[in-house]
Amino acid sequence: MDQYKSFHCINAMQLQAQWIVGFVDGEGCFHIGIHKNQKLALGYQVLPQFTVVQHERDINVLYALKNFFQCGVVRRNHGNLWCYRVRSIHHLHESILPFFEKHKLKTQKNINFLKFRRVIFLMKKGEHLTQQGFERIQKIQSQMNKNKSI
């Protein structure tokens, strides 16, 4: 996508809060990744992310989400799929969580969101860097995104 097209897309589409809730109820994902990383004291890194994936024909919707939340990035996922993604703990805590606290998801994805939220709060307090905190996060993560592929 060239810069002009991105700029045009951002400015063309205004999203309403309830549209975003409906779209994320359908297409959004709150995910906690736990990856091995020997450079860290506990040997693992916790990587939370909020993503919305779309075919490239609807990349303008992803830029509109980025514009709405004023954080995150739009990146190629794979093939013709692109995603809007927020990984920064600060932005998740300051922008994404407050939005979905105020505008509640209507599907069972809300249960997932609440677990995601608990992990972000723990990470904000640095608990992912302690053995006890990390184990709490592992337990919460193991209960998320069940039946995702069904």
Decide if residue 98 touches its own copies (CB under 8 A).
Answer: no
Residues 84 and 70: their CA atoms lie apart, in Å, by 12
Token duo for residue 94: 């300051």
From 1, 8, 10, 15, residue interacting with its own copies (rule: CB under 8 A): 15
Decide if residue 23 touches its own copies (CB under 8 A).
Answer: yes
Q: Which is nearer to its own copies, 27 or 127 (CB)?
A: 27
Phi, psi of 39 (to 5 degrees): -75, -20
Residues 81 and 52: their CA atoms lie apart, in Å, by 10
CB of 121 to its own copies, least distance (A): 25
Q: DSSP string spanning 35-74?
A: EE-TTSTTSEEEEEEEEEEEEGGGHHHHHHHHHHHT--EE
From 46, 61, 96, 122, residue interacting with its own copies (rule: CB under 8 A): 61
From 58, 67, 87, 94, residue interacting with its own copies (rule: CB under 8 A): 58
List residues near its own copies by CB under 8 A. Answer: 13, 15-27, 54-55, 57-58, 61, 64, 79-81, 106-108, 147, 150
